[in-house]
Structure 1
Amino acid sequence: MGSSRKRTAKNCALDKCPKRSKLHPSDATSPPLTVTVRGRTFEPTPVFDTFWRFAAERHAITEKRLKGLPAPWTADPILQVFPFCNTYRVLDRVSQFIITEVIENGSQDPTELVFRILLFNTFTSINTYETLRGAITPLTWSTYERADYERVLRRLYDDRVALYTGAFQKPAPSLGFVENFMNHLAFMEVLMKDLPAQCAKAEYIADVFEWLCTFKSMGDFTAYQLVLNLSYSRVLDFSDYDFVVVGLGSRRGLQRCFKGLIPRACEVDIIRWMQLTQSDHFSRLKLKFNGLGSKARPIMLCDIEHTLCEIDKYVRKLETPARRPFHSSGALPKMRLPKAWALPARKSLRIKCQEEAEVEYIEKFVVASIQSHRGADGEREFLVYWEGYSSDDASWEPEHPLADDAPNAIKEYWKRIRA
């Protein structure tokens, strides 16, 4: 089941956005600036300024929480009610766990680092990783036996304990097992045969990403998340200015920020421009932005991409009534930044191809499942979840093109809801 048509984001109906947003006023006008990349000029929309307001406000919330200040940490009602990821990806709960418990807790041998990061990334579940670590000693590739890991995972599986986090959909490769977790375990073994060597010999960080994408079950989103997690350690010793992959959610966010259709070939260039000119935009909008840590680290490429996805969610939430208040998990622990960020090699820029995404192409998306349907403007739409992408990237798709591209998915959906 698949869809090979080009997916484009719908622009926000700006005049419908309620005045309750402190970051995106309904009477906002487009900023007086443009960006020219690859011979094409793009004009920002009012959402472009909302992006910078959101980035500053969301980071300010994190700073207040790190200081142990009580809620509310913001006057913006959208940010008070709905959960959003941090402006800096590294500050999200999962990233902090990877740094402190996966990377720094254990052998620093490169192969063992790759193994622990890959093991965690396979399930992206703190509970699953902690359960494995508590039951298997030592948790090392040099002593790895599939039967030990199967025993622990099967116990969780039989007890109906979620093995995977709900944040990411992870399509399992077909490697001869009935259960997804066994296919994933076998796939991890396949990757471990060459991934440590691929990391060690990579001239560019893009080399590792491209190698991962040669595997059928590793879509762009899944491969990029793994590369970012590996980059928190010294096994991928590259600058954060080197490489970025534009996901579905961030593509929608980018499209909201600029007028007209943005060709795929221009996306990375625009993100690079946003990263390089961020201080200008914070200054222009009179926003206080302290950066990250004692060295005031700026927003990096992965953070721009990450926050573009959040701004798409933010704008959508403007028209979504709050079902229940968002409650935080309490005071945040002390922030931990990767020790590998201090390595000298991180200061050298190594972009594999200056003409990134030179050829615009039609990207193929595979339908994982259809979960709902609705009527819209006299036409039926289906809520589609895409293989290799998070649930936040689910999108409403018109019935006609979907029926041509993924007819079996629609048949399975009707069969399921009518059963």
Structure 2
Amino acid sequence: MYQRGRRYQRVGRSRLPLRLRADKRLRRGSDPPEPITSRRELAAVVADAAAADAYALDTEFHRERTYYPMVALVQIAWHDHLAIIDPLEVPIEPLADLLEGDGLAVLHAAEQDLELLQHECGTQPRRIFDTQIGAGFIGYRTPSLAALHEHLLGVDLPKEARMSDWFQRPLPEPMLAYAAADVERLLEISEILHSELRARGRLEWAEEECAFLLERANTGRTSGNAWRRVKEVRRMTGRPQALAKAVAKWREEYAALVNRPVRHILSDLGVAAVAQRLPRTLSQLRDIRGVEPRNLRKGADRELLDFLDQIRGEDLEIEPRKQTPKLDQSLKPAVNLITSWAAQHAAEAELDPALVATRSDIEALLEGDPDCRALRGWRADIVAGPVQQLLDGTAAVAFDRLGKLVLEERSGRPI
């Protein structure tokens, strides 16, 4: 058991890990807090952090060889306290009380952290602010946490431990310092971003996008929608697609059962090919392109064949072919131009172009897709409105004297 000497300070009746320096900077040579390794210590951290208006949270994990992210550390900062929790020593389910509280959870690039928390704690934060998303609304392009520290605080984050093995014990002090630095000033960064977003009238936009991220995370990754992540299956129709959906569902459930990445079970190409050929024997299965025999080991190959026998004669639900709108051939040349204008328009407005509209968003908008992301919320004014003017013929995209693309009122005069 990893056990090192601990230092505490008393706050009210709770015993909390000794905070870092009063100026909240983790300086070279200063000691990071010792990891929390007992239920009593974790309960004290949860109780105190849950009383804060906001708390910063980060995790260290590996998932290269597993289906679920394997958590190695959880870091939390609130007020002037910071705690590092060692999940190898103490279960982190009690964090659910913090996550479901009223405090705002501040994370950076939160998507995988949210998945991890859902798996380990059975819940996710009720409210989040993702600093990567927030920074995108003041002009940063998918910034790293290190970039925000450098640009907003003028400090460099430790980098030595970035590619380290987080499951080694005991963790050397440089790795603990690296982990602590990820959350130590995250609330300060959040405050700067909130202030800047308010000044620009974009705080609601950022909050809307963070809520959308949380909504997607709450929907979760289910076996029933696994086929949507397989391009080869999305392109299929009729019974072949119904079979491929079933195989994708089997792959997802089996990968979760044995806790291995889905592509270590069967490749995406293998999912489609197996559904099309429906092999009956091991030799037939192993001859299929996209099937790696070394992945289908320890009985997985037999289980897959049994599953194929089960669905071979089943009356599977076949979705009718959707009459999705197609892009008018006359508009295809405009896609590149409008996408370039949207990116430039976003950059000039100090918005991350990836947040505003991707090429797929522009195509969906031109196709008239009612579910297009560009039609929702704040994007409607930034993108959908101007593009509609183009479609109506009341505006045109042109180059100005500096060679920049601009949207201007159309004169209607032919050249």
- Normalising by the smaller structure, the TM-score range is under 0.3
Structure with greater strand percent: 2
TM-score by length of 2: 0.28
Larger Rg: 2
TM-score by length of 1: 0.27
